[in-house]
Structure 1
Amino acid sequence: MFWEKDRETLDRKSLNQLQVELLREKIDYAYKNSPFYRRKFDECGITKETIQTIDDIQKLPFTTKTDFRDNYPFGLLTKPMKEIVRIHSSSGTTGKPTVVAYTRKDIETWSNLVARIAAAAGVNDEDVVQIAFGYGLFTGGFGLHYGLEKVGAAVIPASSGNTKRQVMIMKDFEATVLVCTPSYALYIGEVARNMGLDPKEDLKLRIGMFGAEPWSEQMRSKIETSLNIKAYDNYGLSEIIGPGVAGECEAQDGMHIAEDHFIVEIINPETDEPAKEGEYGEMVITTLTKEALPVFRYRTRDITRLIKGVCSCGRSFVRMEKPIGRTDDMLIIRGVNVFPSQIEEVLFNIDGISPHYQIIVDRVGALDTVTVMVEANANLFFDEMKKQKQLLDRINAELKTTLGLDVEVKLVEPNSIQRSEGKAKRIIDKRKF
């Protein structure tokens, strides 16, 4: 199902022409309205005439999260406050929060982008959507809310937390679509079964729209089985606009990036040079249609790769794979780069354990150590020790094959790992640097 078929099926030549025109306009707009970008463009000798082809975007300087923090709270805005109708920000848990703002037109653009990914996942005006994201400064709740209303769905702003109540609402209001983090979706399924409900028989859910944290294909399979739904990934970040940058269609073969609103590059994070076609690298995004806060070549820190070519659904926009990790949460263990998603992929392929785990990184002397805490299924945990050892040996062997280093695996009792009602806290890094 298409929301804007003419745009979503543009041929590559027409799309690139549109991107160049919009980029030139936005460079000129930012130069006139942003002291920050005027200074950066002057330093690099950038004007709108710099952009003749799409590849010329590489001449523009990068923007980083540090730029947002250095200009906290409103130093990056290109519109006066009287034209701002919404302000969001990050949590600021690693420093000053990054603050973003929207004009009325930005809100309309954002809603339209979310409507696109919702329609691509099969959401329509007969659906009842339960949003179990927090409503507040985080862009997830309000961002998805407006777009889902735009497609005509009835939206339940359940917000996050109080999981038993979430399940009750889901059942009583006959929700057909669930919006939350993938880890919380797994927990909702677990709680529903503990309440004596069978999602297949007792719930009306058919679609899940999940994002805000990395998740593997194995986790998708677990969620789909647990809640009897089709689970779709979507991608966004507050600095760019929020959710709606990209989303999966019903083919579930990568997330379609809204290229008429964003230019996406993949770079080698160590050299800052373009990655080769099909290679994994850091995703860099430029906004083409934002008014209040245009961003040029924003370094997302997300590691992914692009899939080119027309999708089986008919959309022509380039697709991105699920991010496999981030350059800033990548663990370097004894010289080996490790992403939590690699560990998750191994764990989710092994029977006898639950989909809940935690990775603890520590340092003993000069040596980094990794301990993976994994919940055993209830029937296994109280079974004979021999079976527990066999399971541990298998997990250890498969993790060593995947990661290229030894890690310690500990089986823990069912329900002993803290559940998350938002983004799951998978890593505890105790090392002192």
Structure 2
Amino acid sequence: MFTEYDPEAGALTRELRDQFDAFASGEWDAARLTDHQTRRLREVVAYARARSPFYRERLSTLTDDEISALSIDDLRTLPFTTKEDLRKAQLDILSLPVSQAWIFYETTGTTGAATPCPRTNSDSIHNNTVLTAYYRDVLGRHGDGQVIGVSGPTELHATGDTFGDVCRNLGHGVAKMWPHSPLVGFDRALELMRSLPLTGLFCTPGMAMSLAQKALDAGFDLKRDFSLDILMLTGELMSPSLLRNIGELWGAEARNCLYASQEASVLAAATADGSLRTAPLINHYEVIEPEGTEPVAPDADGVRCGELVVTNLYAGAKPLIRYRTGDMVRMTDPGPDAAVPAPALEAIGRVRDRLILNGHLVNGYDLEDLLLRRFRGYLDYQVTVDRNAIGQDVLSLTLQAGPAGDHWDAVEAAVEDCNRELDTPVTVTTGSPGPITSTGAMVSWKAARVVDLRAESSLENTSAERIAAARAR
């Protein structure tokens, strides 16, 4: 309704809706997209340099003429922006005062100073248009009359507002419920899930498994007593093996629905073909060497694997220029059957979450997928890394048994997989990892899921333990 009181926002909504509809239907060719990105890049660089104290200094050597002549290829001449830059700059990173935003968000601040992430109407409209356009067919396959729950990490996070607005755009009812809130709690959340009933749920993979644990402890049957058709999962590392397990637990479709960050907003979203696809109308993407600065070349299959660098192509409260996300991704150009003609993206873990196991460098996504691919029906998991008496790295996988019982019939195949692909022994045990695994979205996958006995405890480990202890009380 606010757009009726803000004609500029209303006009932008209609413009972007029409652009995304045309783009998704294949009406944009490469030349049109390049022209769009080039024009937006020049606008954003000029805007940030003029308005942001941080970028005024960072881009001070650029002349007006150089900015007006920038091309996409010239991006490589501009400096990177890092997470540490955001922590140090704080409000100086902003291109508008907070008073001109419609809402204030910030990062969780669990491993360093929280960074401000206010959003203007323009920010929200640009990002929510992507999700509305991409989710229309994903949610539409489950019919009308849906009631969809949204569970996010904190009240200062964009999750509830973003998904609530997108569901409203698509005509679905929404219940924002925060199971970790003392005024809601898991019992009330489960009651709402059953009584409304919820047909869909936006949450993290960890929350989906925590809800399953609490429901089973209360004597419920996940498939009989709940009406979930779809789980839209985000906020944590999510391998195909973990997704399949969560879907089977609940008897619902489980989707990796979003790759985003509080700082850089929406970077890729689920589409009807099962992939996460980028949003090239509002962002420009680079994939670079994680330990360097150069772009990576596609492999024989056309996949670029490296650290993602993103530049926002819209002028809002805090456009970021060449932001090093710290995330490892695999990016593949779209084929003729793509639901949206944009590259597919797999987020495969933070650069610093990679592990070296007996000489093999492995990211979190592939390790999780490898270890869990043989198992179904578990309610939680954790990995321990140690070194044996002869100096060999060894793994231990702890699975929390679900309603289907133990997993011993799959252990031999899992051991063979790990030996073959990583030259690393693995043992499998049954047990409960405890509340620390619920901290993945707040801290990191590695701090939540991996106990590395070879390394000293880190700030992330300490933060995860502190949050877990508070949740256990």
Q: Is the 8 A contact 1:131 1:158 kept in 2?
A: yes
The match for 1:68 is 86
State the Cα deviation string for residues 220-270 of structure 1 (Å, max 9, x = none).
2112222222222211101112xx331111220x21211110011111112
Structure 2 CA distance for partners of 1:319 and 1:393, relative to 1, 3 Å = closer
Amino acid at match of 1:326: R
Match of 1:327 in 2: 351
> C-alpha separation between the residues in 2 aligned to 1:285 and 1:291?
15
User: Is 1:270–2:295 an aligned residue pair?
Assistant: no
Match of 2:58 in 1: 40
Structure 2: where are the runs of 5+ without partners? Answer: 1-16, 458-473
Secondary structure at the counterpart of residue 201 of structure 2: strand
1:151 aligns with 2:170: yes
What is the correspondence of 1:279-290 to structure 2 with a 5 Å cutoff?
A: 279-290=304-315
- The match for 2:101 is 84
Q: Give 2:272's aligned residue.
A: 250
| Matching residue within 204, 213, 217 for 1:181 | 204
**Whole-Å Cα distance in 1 between the matches of residues 125 and 414 of structure 2?**
48
Superposition pairs of residues 4-23 of structure 1, within 5 angstroms? 4-8=20-24, 9=26, 10-23=28-41
Distance (Å, rounded) in 2 between the aligned partners of 1:300 and 1:343: 21
**Equivalence for 2:420:** 401
- Which has the higher mean CA deviation after the structures are superposed, 220-229 or 17-26? 220-229
The amino acid that maps onto 2:205 is P
Cα distance in 2 for residues equivalent to 1:346 and 1:39: 46
Partners of 1:65 and 1:153 in 2: CA distance = 35
Matched residue, 1:228: 251
1:218 alignment partner in structure 2: 241
The 1:32/1:351 distance shift into structure 2, 3 A limit, reads closer
The RMSD of aligned alpha carbons is 3.0
Q: 2:195 corresponds to which letter in structure 1?
A: D
User: What is the aligned-residue identity percentage?
Assistant: 25
Determine if contact 2:228/2:252 at 8 Å carries over to the other structure: yes
- How far apart, CA to CA, are the structure 2 residues paired with 1:307 and 1:91? 31
Higher-strand-fraction structure: 1
Structure 1 residue identity aligned to 2:103: R
Separation in 2, partners of 1:104, 1:291:
8
Aligned residue-pair number: 419
8 Å CA contact 2:231–2:253 kept in 1: the answer is yes
Amino acid at match of 2:418: L
Aligned residue for 1:291, secondary structure, equals coil
Give secondary structure in 2 for the equivalent of 1:328. helix
Letter aligned with residue 145 of structure 2? E
User: How far apart, CA to CA, are the structure 2 residues paired with 1:354 and 1:401?
Assistant: 24
Note closer, same or farther for the CA distance 1:352–1:267 as it changes in structure 2 (3 Å cut). closer
Amino acid of the structure 2 residue aligned with 1:224:
G
Contact (CA 8 Å) 1:79, 1:291: kept in 2 or not? yes
Q: Are 2:399 and 2:430, in contact at CA under 8 Å, matched by a contact in 1?
A: yes
Aligned equivalents of 1:102, 1:352: Cα separation in 2: 40
Note if contact 2:398-2:433 (Cα within 8 Å) is conserved in structure 1: no
Q: Work out the CA distance in 1 between the residues paired with 2:379 and 2:371.
A: 8
> Residue deviations 1:328-358, cap 9 Å, x none?
1112345432323233212322248725221
